[in-house]
Structure 1
Amino acid sequence: METHGARLTPEQARAALADTKHIRASIAPLSATPWPKWFFLTLTVYVAAFPIMYGGALADTDWLLPRPAWMAITLTSTAVFVALFAVAAKAWRDRTGVALRFDVLPKRATVPLSVGLPVLLVGSAFAFRVTGRPVWLIAASLIGAAVSVGFHLAFVRLHRKTP
């Protein structure tokens, strides 16, 4: 809508806002589209490995590996994960022209995930430290992987509902 420096009439302003709302509504589901499959696998492996890595770093005594080795593995894998996250986000943005966004996802799903998953992954390491039983780490790994797969499937379903 060209105005050539002139002020918009109220009708033109309402039409422009309606167009903007329509564009935002049509783009929102696209920006919540599933990750590339390679990143979905990377994310799932990272979520599954994190409790074990962090549990080894928090263990009272050396557990399977020395504590500094666990810390190095945890920090290195986190750095690699963050780098791959940036690559996946850029690839998605280049392919679709839309940035990956989490704010368009249903809050009833993302809020419990953003609170529950860190509690699960970190809490299991503390439970392991207190009890010395690796079953906490294994359970958290399996649950974390299942949550990752579940959210990926939810993203796929959300994307398929896109007009």
Structure 2
Amino acid sequence: METNGVRLTPEGARAALADTEHVRASAAAVSATPWPTWFFVTLTLYIAALPIVYGGMTADSDWLLPRPAWMGIMLATTAVYGALFAVAARAWRDKTGVALRFDVLPKRATVPLAVGLPVLLVGAAFAFRATGRPVWLIAASLISAAASVGFHLAFVRLHRKTA
């Protein structure tokens, strides 16, 4: 096969494929770079607050605040989080030229987190409603914050390993 009048040898083809693989690995490493620190802190605080807000929303009677106040807090924090996520994603894309990606993360870490975290967040609210003991909410909040920190540290380690 000829390309621009130059005959491609098997060795040249292998070298071109290796270069392509190197570019692909570099792009994956760049897109796996950790979140900005400010967004990591925002995400951790948001995840830590969710069990308590869910608990307030699902309580049998008004708990600490009236139920409509809990709904307002949930809507406001979710809106702020969504806006900050968009800012972080745009800043990252402007800085690197690569969109934030989750598909480069190992499935053995993301799948349990994607399944377990919602179960933890919502389950704690139901346990609180059933027992009336806020210890469920506090425990879920602390576990969620620890999961966020652990996931961020794994993200950082992944980036260092691929960079």
* TM-score, normalised relative to structure 2: 0.88
In structure 2, the CA distance between the partners of 1:13 and 1:80, relative to structure 1 (3 Å rule), is: farther
1:17 deviates by: 5.8
- Please give the per-residue CA displacement for 1:11-58, whole angstroms capped at 9, x wherever unaligned: 798876654433222211221111100000000000100000111011
Letter of the aligned partner of 1:43 in structure 2? L
1:91 deviates by: 0.7
Matched, 1:61 2:46: no
Residue 136 (structure 1) aligns with:
136
Residue 52 (structure 2) aligns with:
52
- Please give the per-residue CA displacement for 1:115-153, whole angstroms capped at 9, x wherever unaligned: 001110111111111111100000000000001111111
Letter of the aligned partner of 1:156 in structure 2? V
Instruction: For 1:83 and 1:26, locate their aligned partners in 2 and report how far apart those are by CA, in whole Å.
Output: 29
Residue 37 (structure 2) aligns with:
37
Percent identity, please. 79
Write the mapping of 1:62-101 to structure 2, written as runs, cut at 5 A: 62-101=62-101
C-alpha RMSD of matched pairs (Å): 2.1
Letter of the aligned partner of 1:83 in structure 2? A
Segments of structure 2 that go 5 or more residues without pairing to the other structure are none
* TM-score, normalised relative to structure 1: 0.88
1:97 deviates by: 1.1
- Please give the per-residue CA displacement for 1:92-112, whole angstroms capped at 9, x wherever unaligned: 111111111000100000000
Equivalenced residue count is: 158
Matched, 1:145 2:121: no
